[in-house]
Amino acid sequence: MRRGLAWVGALLLLGGCVSSRPIDEIQIIQQMGYDFENGRYTGTAVYPTFKQGPMTKPNMLTTTSPTIYDLIPRLSSKSALPIEEGQLRLILFGKEFARRGVTQITHSLARNNKVGSHLLLGVAEESAKELLKITAKTTLSDTLYLPNLVEQNEQSMNLPKTNLHLFLYRYFSPGSDPFLPYFEKKGDFVKLEGVALFRDDQYVGHVSLRDSFLMKILLGETKNGVYQLKVGNRGKQGEDRVMLQNLWAKPKYEWKRDGRRHVLDVFVHIHASVRDYPSWLDQPGGDLFADVKKKMQNELEHNMRRLFHYFQKKRIDPLGIGDFVRSVTRHWDSDAFYREYPDLDIRPHVTVDIVHTGIGE
Amino acid sequence: MKQAIQERFLISPFLVFFVIHATQVGVGALNFQRPLMKEAGQDAWMAVLMAGLAAHVLIWLMYRLLSHSPSGGDLVSLHEQYFGRWIGGVLSLGLLFYYALAAFMVLQSYIEIIKVWVFPLIGVWQFSLVFLLLTYYAVSGGFRVVVGLCVWGVVIPLLTIFPMVFFPLEYAQYRNLLPVFDHSFGQLAKASKEMVLQYLGFEMLLMYYPFLKNAPSSQKWAHAANAFTMFIYFVLILISVVFYNKEQIQHITWPTLTLAKIPEVPFIERMEYIVISIYVLVVVPIITLSVWAATRVVKQLFAVQQRRSLPVLLACLFVGTLFFQEKTDIEQLTQWTAKAGFYLVAVYVPLLYVYVWMAEKVKKALQQKP
């Protein structure tokens, strides 16, 4: 009897705890844009509206405010249904906004238990609002155009993996700086342009998608990515390039002392397949590939050196070199390391193994 | 008071494994990484092992104390035998307060988690009422029901929650573990002191020892339980070290729950809600066993039936939960419980053991003299 009463009581009480929110009675924000224009912040929210059946149509809400935290409440005042941020997939920062720092937003996201760790972040070349408007207009039913674009490029192309967790990890780590995908408006299309680089939480510059292949490898992501290399001086345009596809690559860092300076040796071993190559390389019996391999290695080394110099000049460390040095130094001092960082001697050594050249010969 | 407990109320020795493990792993497992990594950084796993070994020694000591005391009973009868009715009674009263505090702390911490993650708008009292009704149901069923709850409180979370913590290895940065031994012994000792609360739980043994069939033979199961607890914490801290960095983890209140944000399945986007729900099974055994132990103290001390003291104790806990609402208060409460538990198992029990040992020696010497 008593037992039964306890159960009934528990059921009644738990039944009262449910707070259900049917899907057509809320506004699920899937993408959010932040801009800074003329001293005011602009927030743009993209949400799907459900028509008949599985068809969804992306819609937009925009508002401006002198402060950042105020944006979601202000969006609410323009929306007939309550706004839910639990399905947020991508947050896009305008370049001006990113330049002023994104800490406020990312910290608030890190505290928000409704937002998942897989949330993607990105930087737009001009305004985030414009970019989101394009995706809302050009895609008929796909409200997740940008998130899918990023994920596709991370999985099969040159973009290194990024998301909220990785952003916060690199932001808080004393030995690395965060980076995000960088988008540009090309006519009526959105194009992934490369990787936006941050110093602490402020946007300081970006590198191209081609260079992000090198970043991806140097970060230790082993698979995928394509890279075009110049291997000769003959022929017409395109006749002297080879297209390299990374099958498996591994970087190895070595930190040592050379007199009064420190030297960082970076050994990169790439197992690649050559997807496209000029016809003159195809002479049977000749060992032209050995020569080409040498050229590829030289060019990769040259480009890596250029990339390192760029990072050093900007005093940023998106590759987490500081993190690596910390792991091999007792009582690592981050201030001392980054004082030395711009003059650090970083020496890339690349080995390329051409595993195959496709099914043709 | 000394009469033996009927056989049908006893439990098999191997069940001690579940009882001890269930009471050790609790709400602390969700956020122990933070203070630990603050002190010892990447070497935090050593602190986990150090604290675990210390717990082994204390369990061994507890068994020595309980099995060698001629009364063969629990701590309350031991107190009475060696300190007399009054001083012994006061000491036992302290034990009663400690068990009540432990139950209260676990209840309060878990309610806080539910409030922050799942139901932010709902009041504390609804939850505590439901939990305390459940506790009433289990404890009034007797010790064997409480043990049954402990068994499921180990098995189900182990099969459901534990595999989930391996998903974040996708983002593992193994170099975070290097360099090893970058912290002084002092820092490690300080960090292992932060682990006290996570290993506490075996002190309930002081009350349920007489309920074990062939009690001394259960010691190996108690050690196995502690070793398993050690293993769980060791895995959790290793994954946290490679997944977070030292700075980042200081900004995360429940690192284990944030780890559970990583696994993705098509039909449930966010696994941490599942983890929080299943965690009821981790939390309820601790609350019930502490409450059971507290009412057992009352019974041994004042000869009041457990059935009568149970509602009073639960009412006290319920009223208590109404007054603790703020996060800082709950943190303070956790600190107190950890401190009280530390003094109980690491200071009081060893001292008591030395005292009992000496008293026996003196008694023997006196008997031989004439």
In the predicted structure, residue A84 carries a pLDDT above the cut 60: yes
Residue A284 contacts B where some CB pair is shorter than 8 Å: no
**Which residues contact residue B213 at a Cβ distance below 8 angstroms, ignoring those fewer than 6 apart?**
B7, B10, B11, B12, B13
Q: Helices B33-40 and B44-68 sit at what angle, rounded to 10 degrees?
A: 120
Most B CBs within 10 A among A88, A117, A218, A321, hence the mutation to make, goes to A117
Tokens of B192: 């292992």
Question: How far apart, in whole angstroms, are the C-alpha atoms of residue B295 and residue B134?
Answer: 16
A87: chain B residues, CB-CB within 8 Å? 269
Q: Which residue has the higher pLDDT, B341 or A137?
A: B341
Residue A324 contacts B where some CB pair is shorter than 8 Å: yes
Contact predicate A159/A181, CB 8 Å = yes
Residue A115 contacts B where some CB pair is shorter than 8 Å: no
B176: chain A residues, CB-CB within 8 Å? 323, 327
Confidence of residue A361 (pLDDT cuts 50, 70, 90): low
Q: B-side interface with A, Cβ within 8 Å?
A: 116-117, 119, 121-122, 126, 129-130, 133-134, 136-137, 140, 171, 173, 175-179, 182, 244-245, 247-248, 251-252, 258, 261-262, 264, 269-270, 272
**Which residues contact residue B173 at a Cβ distance below 8 angstroms, ignoring those fewer than 6 apart?**
A169, A323, B242, B243, B245
Instruction: For residue A289, count CB atoms less than 10 angstroms from its CB and return exposed for 0-12, middle for 13-18, buried for 19 or more.
Output: middle
Most A CBs within 10 A among B248, B254, B262, hence the mutation to make, goes to B248
Most A CBs within 10 A among B38, B130, B276, hence the mutation to make, goes to B130
In the predicted structure, residue A288 carries a pLDDT above the cut 80: no
In the predicted structure, residue A286 carries a pLDDT above the cut 60: no
Asked whether the CA dihedral A74, A75, A76, A79 is positive or negative, the reply is positive
Whole-angstrom Cα Rg for chain B: 21
Contact predicate B237/B31, CB 8 Å = no
Residue ranges of the alpha helices (H) in A241-317? 288-314
Residue A110 contacts B where some CB pair is shorter than 8 Å: yes
Minimal C-alpha gap between B294 and chain A (Å): 22
Q: pLDDT for A150-189, tens place per residue? A: 888 988 888 999 999 999 999 999 989 999 999 998 888 8
Q: pLDDT for B339-350, tens place per residue? A: 999 999 999 999
Taking an 8 Å cut-off on Cβ atoms, the answer to whether A173 and B133 are in contact is no
The model's pTM: 0.90
Write down the pLDDT at residue B240: 94
Write down the pLDDT at residue B1: 42
Q: pLDDT for B213-235, tens place per residue? A: 888 889 999 999 999 999 999 99
Confidence of residue A230 (pLDDT cuts 50, 70, 90): confident
**What is the pairing mode between strands A27-28 and A83-84?**
parallel
Taking an 8 Å cut-off on Cβ atoms, the answer to whether A10 and B134 are in contact is yes
Cβ-nearest to A118 among B116, B126, B264: B264
In the predicted structure, residue B143 carries a pLDDT above the cut 80: yes
- Give percent above pLDDT 90 in chain B: 49
Q: pLDDT for B149-189, tens place per residue? A: 999 999 999 998 888 889 999 898 898 888 888 889 999 99
**Which residues contact residue A58 at a Cβ distance below 8 angstroms, ignoring those fewer than 6 apart?**
A46, A47, A48, A135, A136, A139, A142, A143
Write down the pLDDT at residue B52: 94
Q: How far is CA B97 from CA A303, B103, B321, in A?
A: 69, 10, 16
Question: How far apart, in whole angstroms, are the C-alpha atoms of residue A207 and residue A193?
Answer: 8
Confidence of residue A359 (pLDDT cuts 50, 70, 90): low
Most B CBs within 10 A among A18, A111, A113, A223, hence the mutation to make, goes to A113
Taking an 8 Å cut-off on Cβ atoms, the answer to whether A329 and B179 are in contact is yes
Question: How far apart, in whole angstroms, are the C-alpha atoms of residue A36 and residue B46?
Answer: 48
Confidence of residue B121 (pLDDT cuts 50, 70, 90): confident
Closest chain B residue by Cα to residue A167 = B248
Write down the pLDDT at residue A21: 66
Confidence of residue B303 (pLDDT cuts 50, 70, 90): confident
**Which residues contact residue B89 at a Cβ distance below 8 angstroms, ignoring those fewer than 6 apart?**
B79, B80, B301
CATH numbers and ranges of domains, chain B: 14-368 (1.20.1740.10)
In the predicted structure, residue A12 carries a pLDDT above the cut 70: no
Q: pLDDT for A27-43, tens place per residue? A: 888 889 999 988 899 99
Helix (H, G, I), strand (E, B) or coil at A142: coil
Average per-residue pLDDT for chain B: 89
Angle at alpha carbon of residue A187, lines to A182 and A191, rounded to 5°: 25
Tell me, what DSSP letter sits at residue A122?
E
Question: How far apart, in whole angstroms, are the C-alpha atoms of residue B174 and residue B48?
Answer: 19
Write down the pLDDT at residue A16: 56
Cβ-nearest to B133 among A9, A169, A174: A9
Residues 70-109 of A with CB under 8 A from B: 87, 107
Taking an 8 Å cut-off on Cβ atoms, the answer to whether A330 and B134 are in contact is no
In the predicted structure, residue A285 carries a pLDDT above the cut 60: no
CATH numbers and ranges of domains, chain A: 24-219 (no CATH), 222-361 (3.30.300.210)
B117: chain A residues, CB-CB within 8 Å? 113
Strands across the sheet containing A226-230: A226-230, A241-258, A261-276, A345-356
Taking an 8 Å cut-off on Cβ atoms, the answer to whether A327 and B176 are in contact is yes
Taking an 8 Å cut-off on Cβ atoms, the answer to whether A116 and B178 are in contact is no
A88: chain B residues, CB-CB within 8 Å? none
Q: What mean pLDDT do residues B358-367 have?
A: 87
